[in-house]
Amino acid sequence: MRFETRADSIDQHLIPNEPWQFIVLRSQNLGILRPEKSWRPIITLEVDGQHKHEVMLGVDGQNPNQRDIALLHQAHHQTLIKLNVWHKSQSKAKSRKRRHLVASTSMPLGDVMKKQGTDPYVELRLGGIPAARRKSVAQKHQPCASILIRLRPPQSVILPPRRFSAISSGSVGKSPSDTLASPITDEHEDTPPWASGINEEPPLGLRRRRKAKGYCINSEEERSEESDFCSSESGAEDTRALKPWELPIPDDESSTTAMDSFEIRAYTQAPSTISIILPSLLPTTYVADNISVASGVSFASSTFDTLTYHRDLREAQVDSDFDRLLGRLQAECVDTTVFGFSPGNFFNVDSLAKRSLIISSMAAAIGLFVDVWFIIAYSGADVRKFQRLALDLYGSYFFFALSSRLPLFSLLISVLALVGVLGSIAWSAWPAAVLVMSMLAGVLISLQFIVYGCHRIALGLAWMLRGAWLGTVYLGSRVRGVFVIVRGQAQAPTSVVQVREAVQRPVSARAAVHTRHTA
C-alpha cells in the first residue's frame, strides 16, 4: 500500500507574519529599590539585546497609557526579552538626565506565555539589590519587586497543528467522484487553545466502534448524519471541555463506505507551541502552571486564622497591607504605656503619673504573685489541711486573715494608681473634659443617694412649711379673739337702764284658785 501526504490546513506561506503584543500594566513593591519616598520608574524592553520599547510608570506604579502596546516582529518562542527598571532623578541638577539601573529580569517569550496560561496577565519578579530596606512588621513576609505584564501571541502561533492524510493506492488514478475523500477544513480561532477548550474542534485520531443507537427511516445519508450528530452531542462536548488536547476516537464509517478504500489521518509534525507546552504528542491534559490547587485546611488552622491575624500576616505582601493591619491592631488594643511614653507623644507625662504607673505595676505584680501562691498552697487542701495551714505560729488565724486580703488590697491599689495615671495625663491635656466626665460619672454612680437625699429634704421642707402655716393660723386666731374682746369692752355703756319686757309673760292655763275665808 502506498501513501501520499497532502496538507489539509492553510499553507505556511499564506500565514501572515503577525507581531507579538507586549503591554506593561503596573509595578509592585518598587519602593524598596530606592530610598526616595516617591519616584517614577522607567521600564525598558530589550528583545535579543536590542532596545525596542520604553514606558514611564506613575508614582503609584500604574501605567498611565496602557494603549501603548509594544509590537515584537519576527519573534518566536526562543526570543529572549529583558525588562530593565531605571531610576531618573527629578532634581534640577546637571546629572538629572542620568539613569541608574536598579533591577532587571529576562525570560524567553515561550516561558512567559506558558507562565501566563489562562490569566489576563503574568507577574515577573525583578532581580536586584535594594538601595535601602525598610523595616516591615513581619520579617518572614518580605515583599518582592515585580512587574505585571500582558503577552498576546500572534494568530499564527495559536493556529491548530497541520494535519496530513494518506490515500490508498487504489484510489489513485480514479476520478474525483470515485475516490473516497472526506472534505477537510481548518477553522481559525481567535483565542489560544488553552484559553477556551470548549469551542475547539479536536483533531481526529484512532477509530472506535460506534455504540448501538437508533436509526433514521428516511435515507442512508440521513442515518449517517444523525448518528454522527448524536455521538458528537453525547461524548465529544465533554471531551472538548475537559481535555482540549486529547485525541478523540471517531465513530465507524457508514454502511456506504467502500471496504477497499479508506483514509488515515495522522500527525506528522507539531508546531512550536505544542512542543513547548506539551513535550509529548501523547494524549494528555494541559494544565497551566499558575493554576492554584486548593488544599484542605484543618479545622484548627482555620479557627486560628479566624481568631487571629495569622492569615492577614501570611497573605500581606506590600507595606500598605502591613500598615492597614497595624492600624487595625492599634484600634483594637489601647496600650496605655505606649500611649503615654512613646517618643513624640501628644501628652505631657509628669512625675506624678510616672510614680502612679510604677505603683500600679508593682501592686498588680504583688497581687498576681500572692494569688499564684494561694492557688498552689490551697488548691488540693481539704478541711483539715486548710485548718492546719491557716494556723500561724501563735496558734491563731490573725496573720492568715490579714494575708488573705492582700490580693484584694493589691487590686485596689493598682486600680487607683492606674486611674491616677490616666487622670493626670488627661488633666494635662483637657481639664474641663476631665471635670465634666468625672462629675457625670459620680452623679450616675451615686444617683440613688442623691435622689433619696433630695426626697428627704423635700419632706423636711414640707413639714417645716406645714408647721409654720399651722403656727401662723393659730396665732392669727388668738390675736383676732383678743382684738374682739378688747373692742367689745370699749363699746359697753356706763349707766344702768331699765329694760322693759317686750314680751308679756304667758298666762297659766289653770284657773285661779279661789280661797274661802272662814271666820
Predicted confidence (pLDDT) at residue 15 exceeds the cutoff of 70: no
Range name among 82-96, 117-131, 180-194 with the lowest pLDDT average: 180-194
Task: Provide CATH 2.60.40.150 ranges for the chain.
Answer: 17-152
> Among 7-16, 163-172, 360-369, which range has the highest average pLDDT?
360-369
Q: To which residue does cell 367689745 refer?
A: 488
H/E element, 482: helix 447-491
Q: pLDDT per residue over 282-327, tens digit each? A: 444 444 444 443 444 578 888 887 878 778 877 887 778 777 877 7
Short-list 245, 229, 239, CA closest to 286: 245
pLDDT of residue 386: 84
pLDDT of residue 133: 45
Rounded average pLDDT over 248-267:
43
For CA atoms 268, 274, 278, 284, the dihedral sign is negative
Rounded average pLDDT over 139-145:
62
Parallel/antiparallel/unpaired status of strands 42-47 and 80-88 = antiparallel
Predicted confidence (pLDDT) at residue 474 exceeds the cutoff of 70: yes
Predicted confidence (pLDDT) at residue 416 exceeds the cutoff of 50: yes
Q: pLDDT per residue over 382-411, tens digit each? A: 888 888 888 888 888 888 888 888 999 999
Predicted confidence (pLDDT) at residue 472 exceeds the cutoff of 80: yes
Top CATH class of 17-152 equals: mainly beta
Parallel/antiparallel/unpaired status of strands 164-167 and 263-266 = antiparallel
Grade residue 7 by pLDDT with cuts at 50, 70 and 90: very low
Grade residue 34 by pLDDT with cuts at 50, 70 and 90: confident
More confident residue, 140 or 468: 468
pLDDT of residue 361: 92
Predicted confidence (pLDDT) at residue 456 exceeds the cutoff of 90: yes
Q: What single DSSP character describes residue 281?
A: -
Rounded average pLDDT over 436-458:
94
Short-list 182, 161, 154, 358, CA closest to 278: 161
More confident residue, 190 or 18: 18
> What letters, b where the CB count within 10 A reaches 16 and e where it falls short, cover 326-363?
eeeeeeeeeeeeeebeeeeeeeebeeebeebbebbeeb
Name the grid cell of 50. Answer: 536590542
Predicted confidence (pLDDT) at residue 223 exceeds the cutoff of 50: no
pLDDT of residue 212: 58
Q: What share of the chain in percent tops pLDDT 70?
A: 55
Cα 237 to its chain centre, rounded Å, is 39
Whole-number mean pLDDT of the chain? 69
Q: pLDDT per residue over 334-387, tens digit each? A: 444 444 445 545 556 678 888 888 999 999 999 999 999 988 888 878 888 888
Predicted confidence (pLDDT) at residue 196 exceeds the cutoff of 70: no
Predicted confidence (pLDDT) at residue 501 exceeds the cutoff of 50: yes
Rounded average pLDDT over 442-451:
94
